[in-house]
Structure 1
């Protein structure tokens, strides 16, 4: 692993531990709202949007980034669908609220991991991320397979009868969307010249999508009677800001797949830490859990050891290549 890549690997792995923490919090938030995962997702994502919007009022650089993105979309230098990365985050947060209570963080992570790894391989090959097309080298494929094996080892003894396995489909799809989100958010960050602006657009589009879904759900089922009183249940949005900002900044350094592998490892470590320090329900830490986490760490190191690839020379006008943002004088 190159020294220039190592800090990004560590940061991305840390962001994965935050994903595990958010999954626990959002699952409990939905339970506190009478099991309404739709309302829980809006509260979590919407709170993050409020914090970011207040930040835009305080930081002129963030507002300049918003204008750059707007002008790039109008000028077709940035595709309109590349600004919709928040849809992936919305799907993930919705899956947390709807399935974590029933599946537990362990099984939820298994399904998300499968979707993330598959999506990372495909989207890297397609060149969807800002790093351009990246062939699924043997090292990356083996690393991805080992991460899946690691998750299976660490979580296998937690799988038993009575689980609603059909629910695994939602976090599986959410995992694919997370990989897509990481790829397209990198383009927004490059255009805006700021990870903050990329994160803001992520939360703005995600909250809009979740509000639309909640309105339909409320028309059929109604809204929760009240909000839970525990303050920590409302921290999911701020936690999301941190790990999405890290992903937005790191994807062009690591690529979609390696970023996904790092966050997956962090999720394993985070789930392990939560079960050890803040046990919830029937959570149990076993030797298999430790073995799986150790194998995942080795798999991420294997996949990332090649470092960044040599930039590909492209023809002028290639729509996948975005111009570097033009620096503006501070004012």
Structure 2
């Protein structure tokens, strides 16, 4: 998978973050109308899986990417990135009603920022190992503060410590997901990495839905509104944007850029949708401050990449140097 320039990759991730905001809205609405919150996650993952399988049937390039994976044989644990995606989808389904959107989002971003620092330091991402520098720590803290600012005025739920930690764990899981999927894509193609992500995450989401009784009782009241079923398509865009971003920016900056896109997307939804809250200054300032966090955390990035050049993944998936 070819590495794009950092500026281009940043733009792609911002678009992915905007898609993530729309995905969260349609999945929540679908689950509410269908009668079970987890059904939105099920439709999301099934839709994404079906789209990727359809692409596998018609695109020789995707089949070629899988052939490369079979030939290079990355270590088994690099295939587990989809578990992080399944984790955050399931955690959000049950944590948001308890914590409220504001607290959940702050906890998730805090976990993702800490996870991004740790994953980049360990060198799990295909770009290599980044040292733990002052600008990167400041950028991570700025990102959390920006999200906190964006949530000003939103209602708070029950500040249950266990659920807050669970939400932070979901953010950490996404950081690991980004790194592992990026390694697979670097070893083959973005399409192959996306396929593996959905093939791993979808059975887990289905299993959780069965375990919590998502399919029990009367049949779901599936709404006829077509756009409520676009979560899978949006999810494809999000996964691909993360694969592009992690190759050029590393996990921390990719996560922060995704958050900036999410806040921008939320702002657009509030302004454009009927019944929206309109322009909210805290969200606008939060989005701008998150972009500042992306820039701050990138200071010294060239030096960090040179340090990481001796620790890029070897063919067997281990770090050398």
The alignment's TM-score, normalised by the length of structure 2, stands at 0.87
1:312 equivalent in alignment to 2:313: no
Which moved further from structure 2: 6-15 or 252-261?
Answer: 6-15
Query: 1:241–1:90: structure 2 CA closer, same or farther, 3 Å change rule?
Result: same
Identify the range of structure 1 (52-61 vs 10-19) with the bigger mean alpha-carbon deviation.
Answer: 10-19
Alpha-carbon distance in 1 for matches of 2:34, 2:195 = 26
Number of residues of Structure 1 aligned to a counterpart in Structure 2 = 311
Structure 2 residue 90 is the aligned partner of structure 1 residue 94: yes
Deviation for aligned residue 1:224: 4.6
Given that residues 267 and 280 in structure 2 are in contact (C-alpha distance below 8 angstroms), is that contact kept between their aligned partners in structure 1?
A: no
For residue 295 of structure 1, what is the aligned residue in structure 2?
Answer: 289
Ranges in structure 2 where 5+ consecutive residues have no aligned partner: none
Q: Counterpart of 1:139?
A: 135
Q: Is the 8 A contact 2:123 2:311 kept in 1?
A: no
Match of 1:15 in 2: 16
- The answer for the alignment partner of 1:53 in structure 2 is 53
Aligned partners of 1:99, 1:243: CA distance in 2, in Å?
Answer: 21
When residues 104 and 312 of structure 1 are mapped into structure 2, their CA distance, relative to the original with a 3 A threshold, is same
Preserved contact between residue 37 and residue 94 of structure 1 (Cα < 8 Å): no
Partner of 1:242: 237
Which residue of 166, 170, 176 corresponds with 2:172? 176
The offset of 1:280, in angstroms, is 5.7
State the distance in 2 between where 1:176 and 1:100 align.
Answer: 17
Root-mean-square deviation over aligned CA pairs: 2.6
User: Distance in 1 between the 2:165 and 2:26 partners?
Assistant: 21
Residue among 110, 126, 130 paired with 1:130:
126
Deviations 1:184-220 (A, max 9, x none): 001111222x101100110110001112222322389
Distance 1:271 1:304 in 2: 25
Aligned residue for 2:213, secondary structure, equals: helix
**Alpha carbons of structure 1 residues 17 and 104: separation in structure 2 relative to 1, 3 Å:** farther
Find the partner of 2:76 among 51, 67, 80: 80
The 5-angstrom pairing of residues 265-276 of structure 1 reads: 265-276=260-271
Residue 37 of structure 2 corresponds to 37
Q: 1:286 aligns with which of 273, 280, 286?
A: 280
Pick closer, same or farther for the CA change 1:314–1:93 going to 2, 3 Å: closer
Q: Distance in 1 between matches of 2:275 and 2:78?
A: 38
1:116 maps onto 2:112 in alignment: yes
Normalised by the size of structure 1, how large is the TM-score? 0.85
> Structure 1 residues 233, 107: CA separation in 2 closer, same or farther (over 3 Å shift)?
farther
Give CA-to-partner distance per residue, 1:273-297, whole Å, 9 cap, x none.
222222667x564333322222222
